[in-house]
Amino acid sequence: MAEPAIDRAKVAALAEERLDWRFKAVPPAAWGLTVREYLATGPTLDRLATPLLTLDAGALAHNLGTMAAWCAKAGVALAPHGKTTMAPALWQAQLDAGAYGITLANLPQLHVARAFGVREVLLANSLLDPGGLAWLAGELDRDPEFRFSCWVDSVAAVELMDRALRAAGAGRPVEVLVELGGPGGRTGARDVSSARAVAEAVAAAPTLRLAGLGGYEAALARDASPEGLSAVESYLAGLVELYFMLSAADLFTPGERVLVSAGGSAYFDQVARALAPLGGQDTTVVLRSGAYLAHDDGFYRGISPLVRATDEEPLRAALHGWARVLSQPEPGLALLDGGKRDFPHDLGLPEPQLAGRHLSGPELGGPARPLTGSITALNDQHAFLRDSDVAVGEVVRLGVSHPCTAFDKWTLIPVLDDVTADRPRVVDLVRTFF
């Protein structure tokens, strides 16, 4: 029987964590109860305080299935970027839906993944810390089912990795992918000839194994304009060229897997068209999209291929913020009790969607109603809502932009059965580890 992709018992044990003041989403009435005990009381949204961030169960399920089906149809594997949520329960759902593994970005995130027994990890970054490499070598030797690969983009980095792994007495070679970047981008060798030199250095290092190549196309484009899409196409053509160059030079180990990885959450359709033809008996094309699961009402709503370039039902926003009107100090201005410490703001400010009885209690009454107006600024703990018809004490539902900077503000996130219901029920609490 195949080993589980994640330690399901450890994920299940999160339901036994006892709730208290450490979790800002949890009301005092739940303190002292375990997650399981609290959910058994049948809590509803109106029992929670503001500010608040929630997930919608229906949207999560829809997005999970939509992306899995899309990848299967496109002929690519998916190792969703775990840094988006840092939530093992959500990682488990993605793995159960067919994900190849989990992508991570740094050593602390890798520690979390191993604590929950994740078996297949792609580190979309270089790992050069000597202590971290010694720990990794121990993990690989201790667990033969653990598969790990990371990026490298220079001969100097190869030499540092090899030296640290030799000093640690590493047994299993560490799999590395040569990273191709581009001018003005982030990390990555800046041209295919430089990337080949890195690959040759990896092949010569006894503690490493050249396991493929990868990179990040969204570092070279920030929108879906013709110019942005053209930059992505050009970059992907370079990855294809590099793949055939390394294959022709016999730098990949015969019979061992080869990974070709690209694809964030903005251009994975282009990535699949360009790279899927490389897939075969020994080569697996791996997307790393992570934001698709929660999606958003901002940046990804405007750029995701499963919104802008799909004939099927698009992704749905699963994340919502909730904030209460505290003050109306001047005409046309309302101050809400949620700010930068609660909601993402780096790729767009929250947008007001509804106001009314959600969370407000019967004394404010009335059905939820659509809101006009806009959030024009955030302070640490306040949002400036302008030109909106709200009353002091009402609660506003907010759409948010950029999931990657939403989850990290909350250690526990309530999951609602249906965010559109008159009285949504809390059906789960998602634990994050940032």
361 within domain boundaries: yes
**CA–CA dist 289, 279 (Å, integer):** 18
- The answer to whether residue 398 sits within a structural domain is yes
pLDDT of residue 368: 85
User: Maximum CA pair distance of the chain?
Assistant: 74
What is the DSSP code string of 274-293? HHGGG-SSSEEEEE---TTT
Is there a single domain that holds both residue 30 and residue 150? Answer: no
Q: How far apart are CA 211 and CA 256, in angstroms?
A: 8
361, 326 contact by CB (below 8 A):
no
Q: Which candidate, 100, 126, 101, places its Cα nearest to that of 114?
A: 101
Q: Are residues 105 and 223 in the same domain?
A: yes
The rounded distance, in Å, linking the Cα atoms of 29 and 14 is 19
Are 368 and 247 part of one and the same domain?
A: no
Task: Write out the residue range of the structural domain in which residue 333 sits.
Answer: 8-56+315-431
127 and 216 in a common domain: yes
Q: Which two tokens stand for residue 69?
A: 């089906």
Indicate whether 235 and 178 sit together in one domain: yes
- Torsion angle defined by CA atoms of residues 129, 135, 138 and 142, in that order, rounded to the nearest 10 degrees: -130
Task: Examine residue 86 and state whether it is found in any structural domain, yes or no.
Answer: yes
Of 256, 275, 291, the residue that ends a domain is 291
Domain harbouring 391, CATH code: 2.40.37.20
Which distant-in-sequence residues (6+ apart) come within 8 Å of 99 by Cβ? 5, 68, 77, 78, 79, 80
**Bridge partner residues of 414 (DSSP):** 429
Rounded distance, CA 112 to CA 105, Å?
Answer: 12
Residue 298 domain-assigned (yes or no): no
pLDDT one digit per residue (tens) for the chain, 434 residues: 466 799 999 999 999 999 999 999 999 999 999 999 999 999 999 999 999 999 999 999 999 999 999 999 999 999 999 999 999 999 999 999 999 999 999 999 999 999 999 999 999 999 999 999 999 999 999 999 999 999 999 999 999 999 999 999 999 999 999 999 999 999 999 999 999 999 999 999 999 999 999 999 999 998 999 999 999 999 999 999 999 999 999 999 999 999 999 999 999 999 999 999 999 989 999 999 999 999 999 999 999 999 998 887 899 999 999 999 999 999 999 999 999 999 999 999 999 999 975 565 544 445 789 999 999 999 999 999 999 999 999 999 999 999 999 999 999 999 999 999 989 999 999 999 99
Of 291, 324, 342, the one marking the end of a domain is 291
Residue 301 domain-assigned?
no
116 plus 249 within the same structural domain: yes
Do 34 and 142 fall into the same domain? no
Secondary element (H or E) of residue 336: strand 333-336
The CATH code of the domain that includes 64 is 3.20.20.10
Regarding whether 399 and 332 lie in a shared domain, the answer is yes
**215 and 146 within one domain:** yes
Shared-domain flag, residues 47 and 68: no
- Report phi then psi at 317, rounded to 5: -70, 120
User: pTM value?
Assistant: 0.96
CA 8 – CA 414 distance, rounded (Å): 20
Triad 85, 87, 92: Cα angle to 5°: 115
| pLDDT, position 365 | 47
- The DSSP result for 144-208, as a single string, is TT-EEEEEE-SHHHHHHHHHHHHHTT--SPEEEEEEB--TTSSSSBSSHHHHHHHHHHHHH-TTE
Same domain membership, residue 64 and residue 43 = no
Residue 308 within any structural domain of the chain: no
- Answer yes or no: do 97 and 38 share one domain: no
Q: How many domains does the chain have?
A: 2
Residue written as token pair 């282009």 = 270
Domain contains 2: no
Residue 322 lies in a domain: yes
Using alpha carbons, list the distances in angstroms from residue 254 to 158, 247, 257, 282: 21, 10, 8, 9
